[in-house]
């Protein structure tokens, strides 16, 4: 009663191994391409163990998305708010995000693959990713509003949408084209461009670019 349900050591370890294997395969092949047999072979556990830990394939993929997101979040260390200019702060944040994406790309990789698919019965992992993504866009909008307080809401929303969408595109290019693309440099350039646009929008009063 008083004990907080002592965990079986092998249990959580096995769950981690399953998630590791599934994350690798799913980030390579997408939803349909992730076979239970392949996950089982890579993690060394039989299919029945996978189905003991997870209700079905959809549940497994959803867990992969959620854990990949947490892994990515903890790996990403946003810079402290030293007394730089707002522009330098934004650029350093962009660089930090880029570095974390290079190191732990699984979350965004799998998420974008799921996001692009449109099957009749949508996987739960897709909706989870889209929710996380919209939260992230809200954060970007908050930062933009804090740094450029004279911007109206419509401009903020437009800038935030552009900022995260274009960042996704840069990430996709880095994933497909290979490592000769310097993602950190592209993200820094991206941050500069968005900041320029924000200043431009802030100085001219109407919303058109």
For binding to a second copy (CB under 8 A), which residues are involved?
Answer: 28-33, 109, 112-113, 115-119, 130, 158, 161-162, 164-173, 175-176, 181, 185-186, 188-190, 192-194, 196-197, 200, 209
Q: What DSSP element (H or E) covers 144?
A: helix 124-147
Using alpha carbons, select from 202, 128, 188 the residue that is nearest to residue 158: 202
- Residue 8 C-beta: closest distance to a second copy, Å: 35
DSSP 6: P
* Cα–Cα distance measured from residue 50 to residue 60, given in angstroms and rounded to the nearest whole number: 8
* Cα–Cα distance measured from residue 9 to residue 122, given in angstroms and rounded to the nearest whole number: 34
| Of 4, 30, 37, 197, the one binding DNA by CB under 7 A | 37
126 near DNA (CB under 7 A): no
Print the binding letters for residues 40-69 with DNA: x by CB under 7 A, - otherwise. Answer: ----xxxxxx-xxx--xxx-----------
- Residue 158 C-beta: closest distance to a second copy, Å: 7
User: 82's torsion region: left (phi>0), alpha (psi -120 to 50) or beta?
Assistant: beta
Q: Which is nearer to a second copy, 7 or 208 (CB)?
A: 208
């Amino acid at each position: 009663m008083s004990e907080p349900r002592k965990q079986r050591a092998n249990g959580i370890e096995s769950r981690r191994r399953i998630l590791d294997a599934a994350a690798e395969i799913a980030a390579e092949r997408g939803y349909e391409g992730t076979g239970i047999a392949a996950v089982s072979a890579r993690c060394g556990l039989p299919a029945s163990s996978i189905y003991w830990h997870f209700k079905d394939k959809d549940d497994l993929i959803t867990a992969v998305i959620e854990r990949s997101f947490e892994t990515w979040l903890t790996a990403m260390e946003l810079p402290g708010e030293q007394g730089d200019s707002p522009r330098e702060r934004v650029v350093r944040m962009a660089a930090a995000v880029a570095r974390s994406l290079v190191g732990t790309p699984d979350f965004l990789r799998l998420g974008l693959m799921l996001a692009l698919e449109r099957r009749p019965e949508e996987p739960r992992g897709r909706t989870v990713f889209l929710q996380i993504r919209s939260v992230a866009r809200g954060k970007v909008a908050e930062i933009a509003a804090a740094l450029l307080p004279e911007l109206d809401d419509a401009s903020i929303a437009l800038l935030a949408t552009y900022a995260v969408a274009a960042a996704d595109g840069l990430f996709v290019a880095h994933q497909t084209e290979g490592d000769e693309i310097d993602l950190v440099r592209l993200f820094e350039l991206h941050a500069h461009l968005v900041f320029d646009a924000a200043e431009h929008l802030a100085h001219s009063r109407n919303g058109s670019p």
